[in-house]
Amino acid sequence: MTVPQRLLLGPGPSPVSERVMRALSSPVLSHLDPYLLEVLDSLRARLASTFRAAPDALTLAISGTGTSGMEAAVANLAEPGTKATVVVTGYFGDRLAQILERHGAEVERIEVEWGRACDPARVEDALRRRPADLVGIVQAETSTGVLNPVDDIAGIAQRHGSIVIVDAVTSLGAMPVNVSTWGTAVCYSCSQKGLGAPSGLAPITFSAAALTRRVFCRSFYLDIGLLEDYWLRRKYHHTISAPLILALHEALAIVEEEGLDARHTRHEQNHNALVEGLSTLGLTLLPPEKERLWTLNAVRVPDGVNEAGVRRHLLDKYGIEIGAGLGPLAGRIWRVGLMGAGSTRANVDLFLSALGTAVTASRGGPSVRH
C-alpha cells in the first residue's frame, strides 16, 4: 500500500510525532507480558498526573475510542430510573444524553445554542426544579469549538448532591483539566487529540467517591471493576493492544517533559496566532472570544464560498485535512484542530497560507502559488 501523507488539522485525530510512531512500531507483546504490565503501572501514574486526579482515584485507559470512555462512565453510574441532567451545547453533549437514555436514565437536557457556552445559572435553575443523581457536561465541545465552564457547573452540581461526568476528549493534554479541583466523579478523554497518540484508547478517571456510587454494569467489556482487576490485579479481561499502550505511554512522556502548564500555553499561543491570521483573511470564529477552545477552532464559512470545495482544495493541493460542521452547523463552519504535536506556529502559518488560496479559488479569483 501507498498511504498518502496528511497534515491532520481537523477535529481529530491529530498529528503523531516520530517519537510516538517509533513506540507504536515496537515488538508486539502479550497483554500479560511482565514488561507490558510494568508499563501499565507507569501509564496509570502519568494519566493521573495529566488529569490532575486525586491520589485515591482510579485512572486507566479503556481499549476503544473516546466514545468508549463516555459509555464506560455512563454504564458504571447510570441504571434505569437514574435522574440525569445533561448540558447539550453540541453534537457530543447530545451523544452523552443519548447514551444515558439507552442505559435507562431519565434525562433532562439543558439545550444551549450551538456555538455558545452554557450559563451556569441554567444548571442551578434546572437542579433546583428537579434534583439529579448525575450531571453530564462536555468541557470541550468538538462540534462547535466551545469551552464550557466546567469548574462553575461542577460546583453547582455538587451543592445539589449530584455527581458529575465530564467529557475532556478535546481538552486533555492541551487545555487545563483538573478533576480533583473540580470534584468530578468521572472524566474521560481519548488518545488521539491533545495527547498526540494514535486513536484506540480512552483515558478515564473515577474518583473514590464515584467508585462508591457504582451501579451494576450491564456491559462486561466496560465494567470498571473488571477493568480494575486487569490493570491492578493482573486478572485477564481482554487482549489489550500493546503497541497502542506503548505509543500512549511515550506520548505521555512527552507531555511530562514539556510540562502541562507550558503545553497549555503553547496551545493558547498558537490558537491566538490562528485567530489573528484569520482576521487578516476576513474570517471569524463561531464562539465569542471568552468561550473558545484553543484546540478546536470553528471558523465561519463566508458568504459566496463553497465550504466543501475549500476542504477538498486543501486536501488535494496541500495534503491538509480539516473538518466540516455537524448538525445545524453543516456547511456553515470549518473545524480546524491545533492539538498535541500539531499545535505549532509552522502549521498555523502553512494552514493560513493554504486557506487564503483555497478561499480565493472558491470565489473564482486567481490562484496564488506558494
Closest CA to 24 of 214, 208, 246, 210: 246
Q: What is the CATH number of domain 18-257?
A: 3.40.640.10
Question: Could you tell me if 87 and 184 are in contact, meaning their C-beta atoms sit under 8 angstroms apart?
Answer: no
Joined together, the cell numbers standing for residue 30 give: 502479550
pLDDT in tens, 111-123: 999 999 999 999 9
Placement of cell 455538587 in the chain: 158
Residues 63-93: b if buried by 16+ CB within 10 A, e if exposed: bbbbbbbbbbbbbbbbbeebebbbbbbbbbb
Element (H, E) at 182: helix 179-182
pLDDT of residue 339: 98
The answer to whether 23 and 39 have CB atoms below 8 angstroms apart is: no
What digits encode the pLDDT tens for the residues 311-358?
Answer: 999 999 999 999 999 999 999 999 999 999 999 999 999 999 999 999
Helices 345-362, 260-280: crossing angle, 10 deg rounding: 30
Query: Has residue 370 got a pLDDT over 70?
Result: no
Place 369 in a pLDDT band, splitting at 50, 70 and 90.
Answer: very low
The predicted pLDDT at position 365 comes to: 59
pLDDT in tens, 256-294: 999 999 999 999 999 999 999 999 999 999 999 999 999
Residue span(s) of the chain under CATH 3.90.1150.10 come to 7-13+259-362
Range(s) for CATH 3.40.640.10 in the chain? 18-257
CATH superfamily ID and name for 7-13+259-362? Aspartate Aminotransferase, domain 1 (3.90.1150.10)
Q: What gap in Å lies between CA 250 and CA 256, rounded to an integer?
A: 10
From CA 348, how far away is CA 166, in angstroms rounded? 29
Helix (H, G, I), strand (E, B) or coil at 62: strand
Rg (CA), the chain: 21
